[in-house]
Every structure is written in C-alpha cells, then in structure tokens.
Chain A
Amino acid sequence: MNILGISALYHDSAACLIRNGEIIAAAQEERFSRIRHDRNLPLSAIEYCLREGKIGKEELDCIVFYDDPFLALDRFCANLAEEAPENHLLLEKSFHSFFGDKLWIHEQLKGIFGEKPGRYGKLLTVPHHFSHAASAFYPSPFEEAAVLTVDGVGEWATTCIFSGEKDGKIKLLRQMNYPHSLGLLYSAITYFCGFKVNSGEYKLMGLAPYGKPVYKDLIRENLVSIKEDGSFTLNMEYFSFQNSTVMCGEKMETLFGGKCRERESNLTQREMDIASSIQCVTEEILLKLAKTAKEITGKKNLTLAGGVALNCVANGKLRESGIFDRIWVQPASGDAGGALGAALYASIHKFQEKRVWKKGQDAQKGSYLGPEYTTEEIRKYLDKEGAIYKVMEEKDLLQYAAKRLAEGAAAGLFRNRMEFGPRALGARSIIADPRRKDAQSKVNMKIKFRESFRPFAPAVLAEKVQEYFDTNGDIADSYMLFTAPVAEKRRLPFDLEKSLSDFEEDMLKVSSVPRSDIPAVTHVDYSARIQCVDGKWNPFFYELLKEFERQTSCAVLVNTSFNVRGEPIVNTPEDAYICFMTTGLDFLIMENCVLEKSEQKEFTGKDRRKQYELD
C-alpha cells in the first residue's frame, strides 16, 4: 500500500510517503516554501513525496492526517466555556483557524486529490499523540518498547505513555490533558526570556548551562506541581495562553522579579538562571515519567517523540539515568514527524500491514528522506548562474575538503538526500574544524548571523566516539538527539562564573574561552550534542571525517545546519548557492562540485537574508 501522511495547519507542516510499511520519502514544507515552520498544507512536500515514490496521486491508497480536528474543536469549545466571559481574544485568535481551515481539511485535500482522496476513498485521521507515538516506536530499532510522547498540546493530550508491543500494536496507558503541559510550560518560559515561541525553545536549552538553577524551587512551588509518577498540574494563574495572545503576563513578571526580556535585548544573569531552572524542572519531570513508563510497561527500551523530545540535554540525562537499557528518539519529533507517525499508525492498525522491523536497526534511513540532486543537475544550475566551480572525483574531493577544513575554512556541505527533521546531519550542513578557537564565533557571527552563546554540535566517527566523549557505552545515536560530556582528558580548566564576571556577561567573549581541545563543539558545561557517523546512510560524510582524521588526527567536525538565522535549512542548489554567496562561508561542496568563495564573481542576486524574520 502507498500511504501518504500529512501534518499541517498548526506549525511545521510536512508530508511523508510510506509503501508497504517502509518509509519512502518525508519532507517539511518549510524547505520548499522558505517560510520557517510553515503551517500551510504541504503541497510541495506532497508533490515531492509522490515524485520520490514514482507514483501519481491516483496511485495513493490512503491519506492520513496527524490530528483529529473534531477532538481539537472539542478542546477549543471547552476552552471558550472555561474562559467565559473573558474569551473574546481566544475567539478572535482561533476562530478562523478552526472554522475556516482545520475542520475543512478533507475539503481542502479535495482541491489536490479530487473527490476521493486515495483508493480508500476517505481521509483518515489519527490523534496527535498517537501519531507521535507511532513515529517514535515503529521506526525504532526495538521490537517492543515503552513510548513517551511530550509536547505543547495535540487535541487534548499533552503527555502520554504508550506500550509498543511485539505484535506491532501501540496501546495508550496514561495521558495528561490540556492545559497541563510541559511543552507549554517550557514555551511560556521561552517567551518570558525573550525568545520566539515554537522555535526559541532550543535557544533556552542552549542558554541553560550559563546559569544556575536558583529559580527551580520557585518554579516548582508556584508554576508546576509535580507528582512522584511524573504527572503534574500547571498553576494557571501564571499562564495566559488559554485566553490571550501571549503566553504569560504580569504575575510571571512578579514571580521572577522583573519584566519579560525584550526580544534581541542583552541576556542577563536572570535569563540564564531561569533557563537553567526550567531545564532542571523539565529533566525532573521527564525522569519521573520515564520511571513510570518503565514500571507500567515493563519494557527494557524507551522511544520518545513530541516537541519536548528534541530537548537533547534532557534526553542525555534520561540515558545517563539507566532507567532504560536503550533509548531511541524520533529525529523529527516535532509536528513534522506526525506525518510519518500518522501514516505508519494507519498502515498497521487500520490496514493490518506488518511493521517493517529488523533487529537492532532503525527504519529511519538516517533520516535522509528528502530530495537530492545529481552533479549534473547542480552543474546546470551553476552554469546558469555563471558560478566558478570544479568537478572532482570523490577521492580528490575528500582530500581537498579535509585540507581546506584543516586550514580553518568553513564549508557548506550539500550532498545526499535532505534530512527530515530539524537537525542537519551532513546532507545540508555547515562544517568546520572544531579544534579552532575562533570556529564557534566565526560560524555564529559571520556565517549564521546568530547569537554568540549558541553552541555547535560535533559529528564524530562512530568508532571513535569514546575517545572524545563520555557516552556511557551507548553510542548508537546518529541523529544528534543526546548530549554527553566531552571526555575528561580533553577538557581544559574553565571557570564559567569567573568568565561571566570578567567579561561582564558578554556572551561572545565568554564563549570564546576554550574549554577543551575541540572548543568549537564544547559547551560551557563541557557538554556536546553528538552525531555518531557510521557511514551507512551517508558514506561521503563518513569518509570525509576519516580523511579529516587522517590529515589532522581529529575525528570530529563541527556540524551545524546550512542556513542563516531565521531561514529554513537549504533544500535546492539555488538555496545553497545563495546562502554560500551571502555569508562568510569559504567553500561549498555540492555533490561533486566545489566552489571557492575567493574565486567567485561578485554576487548580484537577491540577498535572501533580508526576507527571513529572526527566529
């Protein structure tokens, strides 16, 4: 069967095609539309999935949506009633998106697929957290597992524990409902600290190691009441997301002793401490939930999905805790991954297809599930642009690229199928030498134009990971979803408190102080968000790491997403070329083509950086 999964109309729209249970293609709409977190119906992503699957829309058997709009409307109506008579803002905010958009998903899809969407003839829906759970369990390398899903909110559910069984079925065992939501709590604090909701959560996590958890008890005593089993309730007096256009208001300001931080203003010790505190609370809740999941499922392994599962620091703590033998996190854990989960859930539960599962292997294909371009297609584009480039044999290209990186050059790497999910894994990446003291500030400030405090992730040869990081034995993560400490022998003395004081909280200066012999990928608490590269799904990236190691004795590269701040990750050769030409990148690898910035003519095209809103 060909089943198309769709997530849309909230944020991070995406499409996914599965065939007889195997993932064929998946992509986020933002990569095509160039609108970050695009919420529209994923028309381009659907078109791509069908093209990749070499089928026409008439050959689709079924289309599945990742959310139940009826149940979501129930929550909206209940919210209206709960907030009455002060519900005018809520009505204004959400009326159209429900009555003019989400509830008409079946009619909107008729605009693409005609009167009958797929041979089955009717659109199917799978509840939001079931979609997340399916995206976590089915592609995982585990025959059976506990499944934990945690996000902002789906229809009603905000946190669920499932059991993924040997027969391929998923059973819901526990649920927490709106408004009690860990995702919304984290988002409210993200908002309070002056970052954008729905995208700035990652920055808050990156900021946390700069602070101390001095507000942890304040948060636990006032904002969230946590039970021993990991369930919790929010104190809604402090939150305004139920009936307002902002996440929190004056009461939160009183609690934290001052106004919300204004966007783009200087970060202070207060925001760092709040970030540290909410990170601690998040970890406490997730650890307790994991213990409960273990108790009630009796499973040895855990799978995770939902936006909160992208908190790789908390994931690292979960792994370190040893509650479960192994943990697998869906790389597209946000709403985009719901498209994948909805399709897989329908395949198994509705159509009784068998789960595609091989012992010890995940079925995510390295998450390289998006479009790719041949060298010929790239050459055609570059010739049209008048770009100056060389075409190299792969062996020469590896040697050349490794040499340039070792000289301190930063490269755009555009090879293989694009990644599905928010992390760049070597197919649409910016890479650099992690040993250089200036690499973090160079890539942050001159290439990505983003905040100086934000750390970079290391891509490391899988077989060498323990030489660089204390990974507690589990080295299987290829998706950059766990943090682990940099190996003690590689660390340099670093006093964060003193640095913050010496440099008057100037984050650029603080982050420039080396903390290990791979400083560009060592955060201020010595942690790193690791991608283990084993070469199965991206052999070029693996070989590049090997060649870099051969030339430098270092088996690690900086790996960050190929984009500028606020821009979706590059998708096409055009996106990559423009990003290369309008940033401080030194060279660009696109399949077998290599471009050096110093050899290019002046760029006269449109500098797209101006079209992207800061995230």
Chain B
Amino acid sequence: MNLTDQEKIMLSSVAEKVKKYSSRIYPELPEGENSSFSREMDTDFLGEEVCKEYDFSTPVEFRKRMEEIWERRGVVEMKSFSVPAAVALFKNKPENGSRIRKSDGKISEYIYEF
C-alpha cells in the first residue's frame, strides 16, 4: 500500500512540529571532549529487561508502547507522532489469510537498509 498525500502531510507536519519544539530528538552525546559514547543506551530506552513481549492489537495498545519509549527517552514532544503513526499502521495492517507479506526479497543496491 502506498503512502497517501494525506498521510505524508500528517507525518511531515508532526515531524516539523517536533523539530521546532524539541531541543533533543536524537539520543544525547555526552558533554565533554573525551568521549562520543552516548549517555543513552538500549537499557535506558527499554528498561533493564530488554527482552520484551511484542504484541498489540489496537491503536491504543500500540500508542501506549511507543509513548512509553518516548517518556523513557525524555522526548515527550515525540508523542505527537503516536496518532498519525497509529493511523498509518492500522491502515496498513495485513489481513487474515494474507498476513505474510512477500516482497521480491531484494535489498537496495544504493543505500543501507534500515
């Protein structure tokens, strides 16, 4: 399913708003000159137990999980993403019977896939 203009506008406008109001979007690098290891690690984002159950079936459950991460990261402005992300996500939910989505399996030759 392709991205609709409406979805693009929603996500882009949230992104602009977050950029405008958030002083810190990416995890912080340490202050000082001796190290560039980050102050924030996976255990800060997820808690000490990083092996998590992965399940949600409603937009509310999905939003809750995302908002937990944003709270942990201390970037509450990012919560503005939760509604448009949930809308985009549930609009693209695989239907029963066609759950497994097969693509051509190929990866891009020009960019690292992430």
Using CB atoms and an 8 Å cutoff, list the residues of chain A in contact with chain B.
10-11, 29, 33, 35-41, 43, 64-65, 68-74, 77-78, 80-85, 87-88, 91-96, 99-101, 103-108, 110-112, 122-127, 129-130, 152-153, 155-157, 160, 172, 174-180, 183-184, 187, 191, 196-198, 225, 227-229, 231-233, 241, 244-247, 263, 345-346, 349-350, 613
With A101-B103, A127-B42, A229-B35 given, name 20 new contacts (CB 8 A).
A35-B106, A64-B51, A69-B54, A70-B66, A72-B114, A74-B66, A74-B69, A77-B15, A88-B12, A93-B111, A99-B88, A100-B94, A104-B92, A106-B54, A127-B50, A130-B50, A153-B112, A196-B109, A231-B37, A247-B112
Chain A proximity of B17: nearest CB distance (Å): 8
Which residue of chain B has its CB nearest to the CB of A188?
B112
| Top 6 A-B pairs, shortest CB-CB distance | A111-B99, A231-B36, A100-B92, A175-B41, A84-B15, A81-B18
Chain B 46-60 against A: per-residue CB contact (8 Å), 1 yes, 0 no?
A: 100111111110000
Give Cα distance in the complex from A156 to B75, angstroms: 15
B6 at the binding interface (Cβ < 8 Å): no
Question: Most chain-A Cβ atoms within 10 A of its Cβ — which of B19, B45, B89?
Answer: B45
A178 contacts across to B, CB distance below 8 A: 26, 114
Say whether chain A's binding surface is mostly helix, strand, loop, or mixed: mixed
Say whether chain B's binding surface is mostly helix, strand, loop, or mixed: loop
Chain A proximity of B30: nearest CB distance (Å): 9
Contact A187-B112, Cβ < 8 Å, known A70-B66, A84-B15, A87-B12: yes
Q: Are A85 and B50 in contact (CB under 8 A)?
A: no
Q: Are A84 and B16 in contact (CB under 8 A)?
A: yes
Q: Are B54 and A152 in contact (CB under 8 A)?
A: no
A95 contacts across to B, CB distance below 8 A: 3, 7, 11, 88
Chain B proximity of A32: nearest CB distance (Å): 11
Chain A proximity of B32: nearest CB distance (Å): 10
Question: Most chain-A Cβ atoms within 10 A of its Cβ — which of B19, B22, B81, B109?
Answer: B109
Q: Are A71 and B99 in contact (CB under 8 A)?
A: no
Which residue of chain A has its CB nearest to the CB of B28?
A177
Give Cα distance in the complex from A177 to B18, angstroms: 20
A103 contacts across to B, CB distance below 8 A: 62, 89
Task: Name the contact of B12 in the complex, choosing from A41, A85, A112, A197 (C-beta under 8 A).
Answer: A85
Task: Name the contact of A197 in the complex, choosing from B27, B88, B89, B112 (C-beta under 8 A).
Answer: B112
Q: List 18 A-B contacts (CB under 8 A).
A: A29-B105, A39-B103, A68-B54, A74-B66, A77-B15, A77-B78, A81-B19, A84-B15, A91-B3, A95-B3, A110-B99, A124-B54, A156-B27, A156-B42, A177-B26, A180-B29, A225-B36, A613-B109
Q: Are B112 and A198 in contact (CB under 8 A)?
A: yes
A232 contacts across to B, CB distance below 8 A: 36
Question: Most chain-A Cβ atoms within 10 A of its Cβ — which of B42, B56, B66?
Answer: B42
B31 contacts across to A, CB distance below 8 A: none
Chain A proximity of B83: nearest CB distance (Å): 12
Chain A proximity of B109: nearest CB distance (Å): 4
Chain A proximity of B39: nearest CB distance (Å): 9
Which residue of chain B has its CB nearest to the CB of A240?
B111
Using CB atoms and an 8 Å cutoff, list the residues of chain B in contact with chain A.
1-3, 7-8, 11-12, 14-16, 18-19, 22, 25-27, 29, 33-38, 40-43, 45-46, 49-56, 62, 65-66, 69-70, 73, 75, 78, 81, 85, 88-89, 91-94, 97-114
Contact A43-B8, Cβ < 8 Å, known A70-B69, A71-B69, A125-B51: no
Q: Are A345 and B51 in contact (CB under 8 A)?
A: yes
Contact A43-B51, Cβ < 8 Å, known A81-B22, A156-B42, A175-B42: no
Give Cα distance in the complex from A225 to B41, angstroms: 21
Question: Most chain-A Cβ atoms within 10 A of its Cβ — which of B18, B38, B46, B73?
Answer: B38
Q: Are A124 and B100 in contact (CB under 8 A)?
A: no
Q: Are B35 and A231 in contact (CB under 8 A)?
A: yes
B88 contacts across to A, CB distance below 8 A: 95, 99
Q: Are A197 and B111 in contact (CB under 8 A)?
A: yes
Contact A99-B42, Cβ < 8 Å, known A74-B69, A81-B25, A82-B26: no
Task: Name the contact of B15 in the complex, choosing from A80, A92, A196 (C-beta under 8 A).
Answer: A80
Q: Are A39 and B92 in contact (CB under 8 A)?
A: no
Give Cα distance in the complex from A268 to B2, angstroms: 41
- Give the number of residue pairs across the A-B interface with Cβ within 8 Å: 247
Q: Are A241 and B45 in contact (CB under 8 A)?
A: no
Contact A107-B113, Cβ < 8 Å, known A176-B37, A232-B36: no
Q: Are A175 and B69 in contact (CB under 8 A)?
A: no
Chain B proximity of A259: nearest CB distance (Å): 15
A105 contacts across to B, CB distance below 8 A: 54
Q: Are B105 and A39 in contact (CB under 8 A)?
A: yes
Contact A107-B93, Cβ < 8 Å, known A129-B42, A191-B110: yes
Q: Are B101 and A92 in contact (CB under 8 A)?
A: no
Chain A proximity of B6: nearest CB distance (Å): 13
Give Cα distance in the complex from A310 to B22, angstroms: 38
Which residue of chain B has its CB nearest to the CB of A156?
B27
B73 contacts across to A, CB distance below 8 A: 74
Give Cα distance in the complex from A73 to B92, angstroms: 15
Which residue of chain A has its CB nearest to the CB of B24?
A78
Contact A172-B42, Cβ < 8 Å, known A107-B94, A127-B50, A197-B112: yes
A191 contacts across to B, CB distance below 8 A: 110-111
Chain B proximity of A221: nearest CB distance (Å): 16
Which residue of chain A has its CB nearest to the CB of B68?
A70
Question: Most chain-A Cβ atoms within 10 A of its Cβ — which of B52, B62, B112?
Answer: B112
Task: Name the contact of A177 in the complex, choosing from B27, B93, B100 (C-beta under 8 A).
Answer: B27
Give Cα distance in the complex from A29 to B92, angstroms: 25
Contact A197-B110, Cβ < 8 Å, known A39-B103, A107-B93, A176-B38: yes
Task: Name the contact of B100 in the complex, choosing from A41, A153, A241 (C-beta under 8 A).
Answer: A41
A80 contacts across to B, CB distance below 8 A: 11-12, 15, 81
A160 contacts across to B, CB distance below 8 A: 41-42
Q: Are A101 and B101 in contact (CB under 8 A)?
A: yes
B66 contacts across to A, CB distance below 8 A: 70, 73-74
Task: Name the contact of A227 in the complex, choosing from B36, B46, B93 (C-beta under 8 A).
Answer: B36
A228 contacts across to B, CB distance below 8 A: 34
Task: Name the contact of A198 in the complex, choosing from B18, B75, B100, B113 (C-beta under 8 A).
Answer: B113
Q: Are A38 and B105 in contact (CB under 8 A)?
A: yes
Q: Are B22 and A70 in contact (CB under 8 A)?
A: no
Chain A proximity of B12: nearest CB distance (Å): 6
Q: Are B111 and A241 in contact (CB under 8 A)?
A: yes
Contact A176-B36, Cβ < 8 Å, known A82-B26, A88-B12, A108-B100: yes
Q: Are A198 and B37 in contact (CB under 8 A)?
A: no
A104 contacts across to B, CB distance below 8 A: 89, 92-94, 99, 101
